[in-house]
Amino acid sequence: MSSAAEKTYYRASLGLKGEISSQVAADYASGLIQYFRAHGNRLDVPDAKLTFHLAKEFGFCYGVDKAVDMAYEALRKFPDRRIFLLTEIIHNPRVNKRLIDQGIVFLSGQYKHPELKFEDITPQDVVLIPAFGTSAEELEKLKGIGAIIVDTTCGSVVHVWKRVERYAKDGFTSLVHGKYYHEETIATVSMARTHGGHFIVVRNRQQAQVVCDAIEGKRSASEVISTLHADAVSRGFDAEHHLKRIGVANQTTMLASESLEIAAMAGDAIARREGVSSRRDCEFFRSFDTICSATQDRQDAISDLVAEADLDLVLVIGGYNSSNTGHLLAVARRNCPAYHIEDASCLLEEQAISHLPRGKTEPETTKNWLGSGQLNVGLTAGASTPNRAIADTVFRLIELRGLNAADVLPEEALSQAR
Ligand code: SF4
């Protein structure tokens, strides 16, 4: 087959799942999680005076499963080519470092190669697009280069893009609940831009209120622009024209309850402006909940766990730059102390835990977090966190109680622990 006929764009499995599945399992799976599942998501360790309660939904989502599999398949299919990743494939340090160990070169972000950059990509290279997707402009550039593209963008992200494209084509400005700097949101707003539409990205209710005030004419466009980051508002945004019709969408991993509130705020503001009794009857407002089901399920599961179990604390495990993990923390801490840790190494000692407090960008150390009495410990993990990280956290906690997991875990749990 000539190189001109070679397939250069993969959107799904590269056909090697059977060959990579055992390696993926060896890198990220844990038998201890099977034990939890077989025992009502609970693990009693009486000798350590610990009872663990695992949320019913946690860890790798379908989109992350697909992205990780496709990266491993690319490594298997193209052993002699350079393989680049545009940025982190997902927001988990263990997974990203494991890909680097296997030779994948990152072109941006915290794991960026010191010398190689986007401009160095050649038609002979393989380029992985991460699960969050990439901007329409960058995808076009990649296609122009002619490199082999392995596009792991999650289908739930593509679903948001289609909404935003529709808004743009119908003359609606996209109001996106998200983080303007997050890879997924950067890609999402590019879909509005390339279809001639405008966008505003709001992080929270406070920012949404500023936009709502502008919708009702209580604030000017310059106030909206000065309140938000320059990258959160499309170029040429003009409140007089571009707040007439609003379509709401959201980054898939935001706090679902907040996204719904923001949509209602925007819809009500437009309804008041138009003198319509309900936002549902307003032709100038559209809204689709684009929180993905995996995010919703994990938020619901930790909400249920903290409501039902009498927990002393919750450990939320996941990358510090993982949006959905941060929102699990927000839900968990409503009922009891909760700590967002990246992995087991954050459990420094019995009296010290390194963790990322809600709303902070740098981890902090908290003392006297564990104590020595009987504890009910809740566990959950973000959609990009491997099961192995949960198991390691359990083992470390037992260790902090001065015990060896091998001596105190039920035999059934231990036999499958790795
Ligand atoms: S969190 Fe949702 S949108 Fe993101 S990769 Fe997982 S399933 Fe897809």
C-alpha triplet 257, 227, 159: angle, nearest 5°:
40
What is the structure's pLDDT at 415?
63
Q: Does ligand 1 lie within 6 Å of residue 157's CB atom?
A: yes
- What does the alpha-carbon distance between residue 281 and residue 89 come to, in Å, rounded to a whole number? 41
**Does 153 contact ligand 1 (Cβ within 6 A)?**
no
pLDDT digits (tens, 9 = 90+) for 259-297: 999 999 999 999 999 999 999 889 999 998 888 999 999
**What is the predicted pLDDT for the residue at 416?**
56
Per-residue pLDDT of 119-161, as tens digits, reads 999 999 999 999 999 999 999 999 999 999 999 999 999 999 9
Q: Do domains 63-153 and 156-291 have the same CATH topology?
A: no
Separation between Cα atoms, residue 56 and residue 154, nearest integer Å: 22
State the pLDDT at residue 2.
43
Residue range 156-291, CATH number? 3.40.1010.20
For a substitution probing ligand 1, which of 91, 132, 183, 295 has the most ligand atoms within 8 Å of its CB?
A: 295
Residue 389 Cβ inside 6 Å of ligand 1? The answer reads no
- Give the angle 91-118-179 at the CA atoms, nearest 5°: 35
State in Å: Cα 238 to ligand 1 middle.
33
pLDDT value, residue 412 = 75
- At position 268, the amino acid (one-letter code) is D
- Tell me if 89 CB under 6 Å of ligand 1: no
Gyration radius from the chain CA atoms: 23
| Confidence at residue 414, expressed as pLDDT on a 0 to 100 scale | 73
311 — phi, psi (to 5°)?
-85, 145
Task: Give the pLDDT confidence score for residue 371 in this predicted structure.
Answer: 84
Query: Is the torsion defined by CA of 33, 390, 398, 52 positive or negative?
Result: negative
**Residue 291, H or E segment:** none
384 Cβ below 6 A of ligand 1: no
Alpha-helix residue ranges (DSSP H) falling in 90-182: 93-101, 136-145, 155-169
CATH class of the structural domain 28-61+294-415: alpha beta
Query: Which residue has the CA at smallest separation from atom 5 of ligand 1?
Result: 63
Alpha-carbon span 297 to 80, nearest angstrom = 40
Give the closest residue (by CA) to ligand 1 atom 6: 63
Task: Write phi, then psi, for 33 (nearest 5 degrees).
Answer: -70, -35
Domain ranges in the chain are 28-61+294-415, 63-153, 156-291
- Tell me 104's DSSP state: -
Buried b (16+ CB within 10 A) or exposed e, 246-259: bbbbbbbbbbbebb
Q: What pLDDT shows up at residue 1?
A: 44
Beta bridge partners of 325: none
What's the sign of the alpha-carbon dihedral 89, 94, 97, 101? negative
Catalytic residue among 57, 73, 88, 184: 184
Nearest-angstrom CA–CA distance, 273 and 254: 28
Domain 63-153 has CATH 3.30.1330.30: no
The CB of 295 under 6 Å from ligand 1? The reply is: yes
The pLDDT value given to residue 4: 54
CA distance 42 to 390: 13
DSSP letters spanning 246-262: EEEEE-TTS-HHHHHHH
Ligand 1 atom with the shortest distance to the CA of 62: 7
Which atom of ligand 1 is nearest the CA belonging to 252? 3
The pick from 57, 58, 60, 61 for probing ligand 1's pocket by mutation, whose C-beta has the most ligand atoms within 8 angstroms, reads: 61
User: What residue ranges of the chain have pLDDT lower than 70?
Assistant: 1-5, 415-418
Strand partners, 364: 355
Q: How far is CA 389 from CA 27, 83, 139, 341, in A?
A: 11, 26, 33, 10
Phi and psi at 387, nearest 5°, equal -55, -30
Query: What pLDDT does 115 receive?
Result: 97
Tokens of 397: 């906690």
185 lines ligand 1 (CB under 6 A): no
Q: Is 184 a catalytic residue?
A: yes
